[in-house]
Amino acid sequence: MRKGLLKLSTALLAAVLLAGTAATPPTASAASVWNVYNEAMRLDAQGKYAQAIAKYEQAGRTMAASADYGNAGRMYRKAGEAYVKLNQYDKAVSSWDLESAYYAKVRLTQDSIAVKRKADALRSTVELYYETGLSAAALGNRSRDLAPLEPANGILLGAYAEQDAKVHQGAGGKFYTDEYPKMTGRKHAGYLIYFTYGMKLSAVQSHIDKAKANGTALELGVQPLRGMSEVQDNAYLHQLAKDAAASGVPIFLRFANEMNGNWTPWKSTPQTYIEKFRLVANVFHKEAPDNVAMVWAPGAEPIDNIQDYYPGDKYVDWVGASLYSIYNPSADPLKQGMDRSSHIAKLDTIYDLYADRKPIMIAEGAVSYMYPEKMRDVTDWSVYQTQVLYATLPMKYPKVKAIFWFDVDAQGTTDRVKYYGLSNNAKMLAAYQKAILNPYYLTDVGSGTSLSYAPIAGSVPARKLKVSGYVKTWSPTLGKVVYRIGGKAVATATTAPWSAQIDFAPYKGRTIAIEVSAYDRQGKPVTTQTVKVKVQ
């Protein structure tokens, strides 16, 4: 009898510890499921992870069937942790998805969100596309009118290069509009410069003159450094708009960017920000309607307050974003000291919110090639992230219409130096040079391209196609992707976007499964995902 009481007490204690709240005495069936849990823990401690997983999942199913969702979620948490020990990360993600879903059922909202984020950080995703062209009719058949300075198709290529001493020395010396194309191998459609609100536009006349001479646009980063109170409907603002209209160059006017962060001198309430942005937009839309586009550009992070600052469709021509990544292994959900985050995925929130309404611009952004806290070179990681960024935008984010690389190594607002300068890192420069060769990237405002990428989803034409993919996994970098149909390898690619020629003609009239297998830099398999399509 004493032995039976001890066993029941152990089960009850486990229930209390897992639930974190007072527990009622278990029924016979409840005691049985906790016995299963105890057996799972014993197997886990012995390193018998596969057997432990089977027990955790058995307990989870039983708990879910009796609507004990909180503890069911915790069973799948333990199963996920055991899958990690087996290096089976795709299965760990599936377990954590169940954990998150069960937490949501009992309104453990923050726990559910945290688990979902962990799962997303390790989730393997494959999206396939093939190159195609757009007819004149397709280009004209749009869901909305084009915004000022927006290309119908393609991405305007831009950069911030004024602080790169190797391409810019100011008055009388090298000027970035001349030198940057030489360094990168392609003309750029526009350049970012910063402008302090209250100055006359003539203060940047040399930049305007060079832009006009070289046929480039300016992204004018207008910053009210003395706070939003200085922005008034007065003679200064109207004259600034008139001078912009008379400048003779296309201008993307990015007013008071990154307003959703807490690091800018113009930080204000959303109500104040919206009032001032609308004021500036009204003046520029009236005084400079032909060559100035109003850009509203929050930081891509934090995401929780972005919508609070949106001034409204009437006032915003383009939606921009500041998109940066600095190596941060402390956020590794596997606690293995690697940064597994996806640089391009940071764009998702803004893209999902606004891309159907406005053209999207990466108004400034870059990937650091140094881990500043340790002063460790992480060039291979930054090269990979940069390759994925420029390779993926045309396929997965076709409503992005401009991108400006922030080319500078500079002291930031903290003691962290930001290592984004291409001219100081040969590997990064080479990666950028190769990435921007894609003709989808445009070198002039007013130009365009018929090149497009159609998603492979549901069906695919029965002919030879150039297939490319967005492949995201738990591995920080990938080294190879192999395409298989019917178990037979049909193509291999070694660089993002994993492009390969695949002939679908032999499969006409059939539904096939395209297996996409990803491998890390050492050739070890990372994941295999399947895309089913009908060939027609």
In tens, the pLDDT along 50-68 reads: 999 999 999 999 999 999 9
Strands (E), 112-255: 125-133, 155-160, 190-196, 217-223, 251-255
pLDDT, position 331: 85
What pLDDT score was predicted for residue 3?
A: 35
Cis peptide before 289 (omega within 30 of 0): no
* pLDDT at position 12: 37
Domain at 452-535, CATH class = mainly beta
Question: What residues contact 251, with CB distance under 8 A and at least 6 apart?
Answer: 217, 218, 219, 220, 244, 288, 291, 292, 293
- The burial class, CB within 10 Å (0-12 / 13-18 / 19+), for 337 is exposed
Domain coordinates of the chain in residue numbers?
2-122, 156-441, 452-535
Q: What is the pLDDT of residue 31?
A: 73
Report the candidate in 426, 432, 395 with the shortest Cα–Cα distance to residue 188: 432
* pLDDT (0 to 100) of residue 170: 78
Domain 2-122 has CATH 1.20.120: no
Label the pairing between strands 376-377 and 370-371. antiparallel
- Residue 123 near residue 93 (C-beta atoms within 8 A): yes
Position of tokens 């204000």? 268
Is residue 331 within 8 A of residue 373, CB to CB? The reply is no
Element (H, E) at 33: helix 28-45
Beta bridge partners of 320: 361
Asked whether 58 and 51 are in contact (CB, 8 A), the reply is no
Q: Which CATH class is domain 156-441?
A: alpha beta
Chain segment 346-372, per-residue pLDDT in tens: 999 999 999 999 999 999 999 999 998
Token pair belonging to 446: 């007013």
Q: Tell me the CB-side half-sphere exposure of residue 131, using CA atoms within 13 A.
A: 18
Q: Please give the C-alpha separations between residue 403 and each of 105, 189, 394, in angstroms, as whole numbers.
A: 41, 10, 11
- In order, the DSSP letters of 97-148 are HHHHHHHHHTT-HHHHHHHHHHHHHH--EEEEEEEEE--HHHHH--SSPPPT
Q: Which two tokens stand for residue 330?
A: 């402390």
389 backbone dihedrals φ, ψ, rounded to 5°: -60, -60
Task: Give, rounded to a whole angstrom, the gap between the first and last alpha carbons of the chain.
Answer: 71
Q: Is 216 helix (H, G, I), strand (E, B) or coil?
A: coil
Residue ranges in the chain whose pLDDT is less than 50: 1-26, 413
For the chain, percent of residues with pLDDT exceeding 70: 92
